[in-house]
C-alpha cells in the first residue's frame, strides 16, 4: 500500500510507504506537468494527475512514473480534486467558463457531460461519490452541493454556507463512520477538519484541529489504520490524527520530507486483493541429470495489456513426483521499475497432464509482502494470485 501526494511547486507526484511514511520514489513527472492537484489510480492501474496550469488530466505509468499521454482535457479549466466511480472519472473544474464538475469515460477519457454548480461563484475544488450521490465541495461557497448521478440534476446544498465555521474548504473524505470530513478553516486557531452528517448536512464536530495557525490543511484521506491523514500547504508535511478521537498523533511525513513542496491532494493506493496476469513465454528449456530433469521457463508478464514484470520458472521432476506426472515448482516475478526489482516468489506444483499450476506465495519484497501466503493458480497463460 502506498501514499501518493501531489507536490505542487516541484511539479511531481511523490510516493511514500503507507505504513512508515518513508519516501519511496517520484511516482509521476514529465509530460509538461506544472502544478499537480488531484491524483487517482485509473482503471488501467496507471496514475491520473490533474494539472491546473495546463488544464489537463495526464496519465503516468504507475510502475516507472513516466508520462504516457494526456488522458482528458475537454472542458477543463483549472482542474482540482478527482474521483472515479462506476466507470466514470469526475473532475472538479475550479475556474470559469466551465465552473462545474466534468465527467469523463474512465477508460477512454472522452467527456460525457457536466454537473453545473448552482452558486455563481462556487469554485468547485473537490468531488466524491457516496450514497448514490455526487458530492461537490465549493471553495468560495463554503458548502457542499449534491447531484443525481444519472440526471446530473442538483439535489440542493447539503448545508448552509459556513456551517460549523467552515471557510475556504479544500478537500473531502468519507470516514470509517460514513460521515463526511472536510478540511479548511481560517487563521487564528480555526484550521483543521470538520465532520458533517452526509445525509442531513448537520454539523457534528470540529474533528481534528491543526494547532499551528499557519498550517493550512489541504488534502485529506483515511488510511488502512482508520486514522486521518492531513496535508498542510505551508509547511509541506502530512499530519496524522487518531480515529475515532481526532487527537493529533504525529507528523507522518515531516516538513519537506522526500522533497515535498506545497502538497495539495493525497490518496492511498490499496493493494488489489487479487492479481491477474497474462504470461508471454520467451524461452523453455529441458535439462536432464541423474535426478531426472529440470524445466526452465521465462518470459514477460502483462497486466491490462501493459508489460509490468518478467518471470522465471523452474520445475523439478524427481523421485517422488513421477508417479503422478507432476513437478515441484518455483516461480519468481520481477517487477519493472526498481533496482533491485520488487518481486514475488511462488511455490507449488505443476501438473504435466493438464499444464495447470497451483500453490502459494512463499516470499515477497516489502512493498508487496501482503501477498505472502496467498494462493495462486495458473491456467494456460493466465496467472491469478489471491
Unique residue bearing C-alpha cell 470559469? 96
Q: Report which of 83, 140, 151 is spatially closest to residue 116, judged by C-alpha positions.
A: 151
Neighbouring CB atoms inside 10 A of 299's CB total 16
- Cα 221 to Cα 88: distance, rounded to the nearest angstrom: 21
SS (H, E, C) 80-93: EEEEEECCEEEEEE
CA 118 to chain centroid: 30
Please provide residue 27's backbone torsions phi and psi, each rounded to the nearest 5 degrees: -90, -20
Residues 49 and 185 in one domain: yes
Q: Report which of 21, 24, 25, 28 is spatially closest to residue 6, judged by C-alpha positions.
A: 28
Residues 249 and 283 in one domain: no
Residues 231 and 188 in one domain: yes
Three-state secondary structure call for residue 257:
helix
* H/E element, 116: strand 111-116
CA 262 to chain centroid: 19
pLDDT at 187: 66
Residues 247 and 331 in one domain: no
Residues 153 and 220 in one domain: yes
Contacts of 371 (CB under 8 A, 6+ apart): 271, 275, 344, 361, 364, 385, 386
- Cα 300 to Cα 279: distance, rounded to the nearest angstrom: 6
Return per-residue pLDDT of the chain as tens, 386 residues.
Answer: 799 999 999 999 999 999 999 999 999 999 999 999 999 999 888 899 999 999 999 999 988 899 999 999 999 999 999 999 988 999 999 988 778 999 999 989 999 999 998 877 789 999 999 999 999 999 999 999 999 999 999 999 999 999 999 999 999 999 999 999 999 987 666 899 999 999 999 999 999 999 776 689 999 999 989 999 999 998 999 999 999 999 999 999 999 999 999 999 999 987 777 899 999 999 999 999 988 889 999 999 998 788 889 999 999 998 889 888 899 999 999 998 767 888 999 999 999 889 899 999 999 987 678 789 999 999 999 999 99
Domain boundary among 228, 244, 269: 269
Domain boundary among 218, 239, 269: 269
CA 316 to chain centroid: 40
Residues 54 and 194 in one domain: yes
Q: Report which of 73, 92, 269 is spatially closest to residue 169, judged by C-alpha positions.
A: 92
pLDDT at 31: 97
Residues 257 and 319 in one domain: no
pLDDT at 337: 72
Q: What domain range is 68 assigned to? A: 2-269
Residues 357 and 372 in one domain: yes
Residues 102 and 219 in one domain: yes
Q: Report which of 356, 363, 361 is spatially closest to residue 376, judged by C-alpha positions.
A: 361
- Total domains in the chain come to 2
pLDDT at 270: 78
Residues 231 and 324 in one domain: no
Contact 366, 384 (CB under 8 A): no
- Cα 109 to Cα 98: distance, rounded to the nearest angstrom: 17
Residues 8 and 126 in one domain: yes
Contact 266, 6 (CB under 8 A): yes
Domain boundary among 242, 269, 296: 269
pLDDT at 52: 97
Q: For residue 80, give the CATH number of its domain.
A: 2.130.10.10
Residues 150 and 94 in one domain: yes
Q: Which three cell numbers stand for residue 254?
A: 515531516
Amino acid at each position: 500500500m502506498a501514499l501518493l501526494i501531489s507536490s505542487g511547486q516541484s511539479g511531481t507526484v511523490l510516493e511514500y510507504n503507507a505504513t512508515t511514511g518513508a519516501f519511496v520514489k517520484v511516482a509521476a513527472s514529465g509530460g509538461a506537468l506544472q502544478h499537480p492537484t488531484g491524483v487517482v489510480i485509473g482503471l488501467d492501474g496507471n496514475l491520473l494527475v490533474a494539472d491546473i496550469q495546463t488544464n489537463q488530466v495526464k496519465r503516468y505509468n504507475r510502475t516507472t512514473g513516466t508520462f504516457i499521454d494526456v488522458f482528458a482535457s475537454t472542458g477543463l479549466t483549472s482542474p482540482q480534486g478527482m474521483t472515479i466511480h462506476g466507470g466514470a472519472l469526475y473532475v472538479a473544474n475550479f475556474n470559469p467558463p466551465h465552473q462545474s464538475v466534468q465527467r469523463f469515460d474512465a477508460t477512454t477519457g472522452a467527456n460525457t457531460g457536466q454537473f453545473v454548480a448552482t452558486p455563481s461563484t462556487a469554485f468547485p475544488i473537490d468531488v466524491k461519490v457516496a450514497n448514490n450521490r455526487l458530492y461537490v465541495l465549493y471553495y468560495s461557497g463554503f458548502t457542499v452541493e449534491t447531484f443525481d448521478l444519472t440526471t446530473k440534476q442538483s439535489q440542493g446544498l447539503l448545508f448552509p454556507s459556513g456551517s460549523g465555521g467552515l471557510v475556504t474548504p479544500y478537500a473531502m473524505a468519507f470516514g470509517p463512520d460514513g460521515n463526511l470530513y472536510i478540511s479548511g478553516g481560517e487563521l487564528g486557531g480555526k484550521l483543521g477538519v470538520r465532520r458533517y452528517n452526509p445525509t442531513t448536512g448537520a454539523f457534528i464536530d470540529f474533528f481534528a484541529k491543526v494547532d499551528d495557525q499557519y498550517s493550512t490543511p489541504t488534502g485529506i484521506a483515511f488510511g488502512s489504520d482508520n486514522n486521518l491523514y492531513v496535508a498542510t500547504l505551508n509547511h509541506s508535511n502530512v499530519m496524522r490524527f487518531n480515529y475515532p478521537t481526532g487527537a493529533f498523533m504525529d507528523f507522518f511525513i515531516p516538513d519537506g520530507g522526500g522533497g515535498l513542496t506545497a502538497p495539495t491532494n493525497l490518496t492511498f493506493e490499496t493493494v488489489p486483493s487479487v492479481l491477474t496476469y497474462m504470461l508471454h513465454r520467451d524461452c523453455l528449456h529441458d535439462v536432464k541429470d541423474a535426478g531426472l530433469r529440470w524445466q526452465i521457463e521465462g518470459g514477460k508478464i502483462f497486466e491490462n495489456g501493459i508489460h509490468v514484470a518478467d518471470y522465471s520458472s523452474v520445475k523439478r521432476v524427481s523421485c517422488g513426483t513421477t508417479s503422478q506426472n507432476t513437478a515441484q515448482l518455483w516461480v519468481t516475478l520481477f517487477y519493472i521499475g526498481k533496482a533491485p526489482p520488487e518481486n514475488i516468489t511462488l511455490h507449488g506444483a505443476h501438473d504435466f497432464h493438464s499444464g495447470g499450476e497451483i500453490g502459494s506465495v512463499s516470499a515477497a519484497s516489502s512493498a508487496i509482502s501482503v501477498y505472502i501466503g496467498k494462493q495462486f493458480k495458473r491456467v494456460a497463460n493466465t496467472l491469478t494470485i489471491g
